Structure 1
Amino acid sequence: MNSREKIQAVIDEMGKVVVGQERLINRLLVGLFTGGHVLLEGVPGLAKTLTINTLAKILDLHFQRIQFTPDLLPSDLVGTMIYNPLKNEFEVKKGPIFAQIILADEINRAPAKVQSALLEAMAEKQVTIGETTYPLDKPFLVLATQNPVEQEGTFPLPEAQVDRFMMKVFLNYLDKEQELEVMRKMSNMDFKYEPKSILSLKDIQAIRKEINEITISETLERYIIELIFATRNPADYGLTKEADYIQFGASPRASIHLNLAAKVMAYLAGRDYVLPEDIKEMTPDVLNHRIILTYEAEADNITSLQIIQTILSSVAINR
């Protein structure tokens, strides 16, 4: 099989376990092929953890699930120094962060020190234990989940860490037919399917190389820049009301991630060039967590996604 056939095989294999989450699977593949971390937000029961677990089984990579809790310590994440009485010396015991795919379940339940340790891993692809810094295996990908409903015992993620996520993906309920299929499948107590391993590290590296060769015109590169600047200076684009709603716009990291995400969308569609639709499709997921709203926006029940849609409809492509 060629690379695109293997990707379709991955999607088909995941569909045997996960129902109705095609968009989620697509975004996880975007993160995988670009090395971008992904934050998933949705109410319980939407198969966030199941989807990530299934993807990990399909990939021939080292996977670790870490359940974040308020009493979690940095050493529980990265590891610690332990004393070996036989050798009369301290040895390093590496933590679960030393994997290639990390499922950070309910990431917002961990305190600030744990978030700081995770930030180093996400940003630098390394961790520090004692006085020594250890590089992490490649690829290193954090797929995190959080529950927007239950806020008791949670800690807001630092803005610097939130910005390290390539995308924040909001999940909605399934439609009636999809939920009916889930009910029928999961009500069968004998149902058990072990996904086959399809993509190896070598396959992922080959796919990344192909994606790197996807072309994007200067017109569309400048369109991405205009979208980012519209979040920082909305009044310059005639968005006077949005100027009152946005406290801080997207960081420079957003333009990089939007460019990469658009290339993956083009690749998955079988093209070797980016279209405006690829950029527009990925803009909400790449930007929604990078726009910091004012109190006025919260008072008016305005969300970042609403602002992004207004920006997309207002910013033109200058050919």
Structure 2
Amino acid sequence: MQSIQANNYFVHFNQNAYEALNKHLKENKYSNIFIIVDTQTNEYCLPKLLPIIETDLNIEIIEFEAGEENKNIDTCIQIWHVLTELGADRKSLIINLGGGVVTDLGGFVASTFKRGVDFINIPTTLLSMVDASVGGKTGVDLGNLKNQIGVINVPQMVLIDTQYLETLSQSEMRSGLAEMLKHGLIYDAAYWREFLDISSIDYNCLDELIYRSVEIKNEIVMQDPTEKSIRKALNFGHTLGHAIESYFLESEDKQTLLHGEAIAVGMILESYISLHKNLISKEEYIEIKTAIQSIYDHVNFEENDINPILELLIHDKKNEYGLIQFALIEGIGKIKINQSVENKLILEAFQDYKS
């Protein structure tokens, strides 16, 4: 697969990825290498990566506990201390090997340690391959609020090896699929139609589907690296989806949702809002809702869940001047950003979802 040119870096695929990595190590005089992993990728992915790295440099492994609940500033502080104790300097290289939690947090650690050291992302989940590792967003959660602390800073490269997907559960694969569905809905109607009958997808073509998803995200980010305008399109399904994810993360009586599971709900809700703002047709809404519900389990919302979710919307990063801003679809394959939505319509969307 041909590498994809992003803003000041490349996304490399499969065998080309490791050739690019080793070439980069030979051409740059790094002092040492630190590989950040979580407990899952340390066990299942690191043994594949280490034998492929061609270097005489000292390699140190830094591990933290897997899970969204550990994507916080406390974990960063621990890693900064470890880097300091192990002699990391401005010429060190950090390699982030893992899913979105690892690439987001590891990128933030690298971007802020000694005011910034080089880092490379090697995503190991479908979600991180098509979304989290590409585009330069780094950061951590603030309590239960998603991605409130962070910077935009691009890696030296992103290396996508789809063999890592063999380590994933079906639920993790579905979580990543949500972002691929989103890319079709906001940008490429033909790509969206690939997923209308999930049972007919040829998973031998998964590499091509991932490649197209990365292309779509990259084409949007290249137009607007710092999210001043069109990059906001990538937040379709995320305004409500992130609030739902945060609420389920903090609620002791709720089972935590994977990111993609929450975003799937968010896309249905925000498609309903798009319908009632006359941006999509009833037929398009039914198509979207039916397709997403054929893949994801229904999420139960009690009446007393909705208001706390709405209160979390005020923390969405797209908001400006205290106004909640949505990215809505304007027909399948097109987007309309900076859309204000009344609470009444949001409540109606939840009622429709529950019914």
| TM-score using structure 1 length | 0.31
- TM, length-normalised to structure 2: 0.29
More helix by share: 2
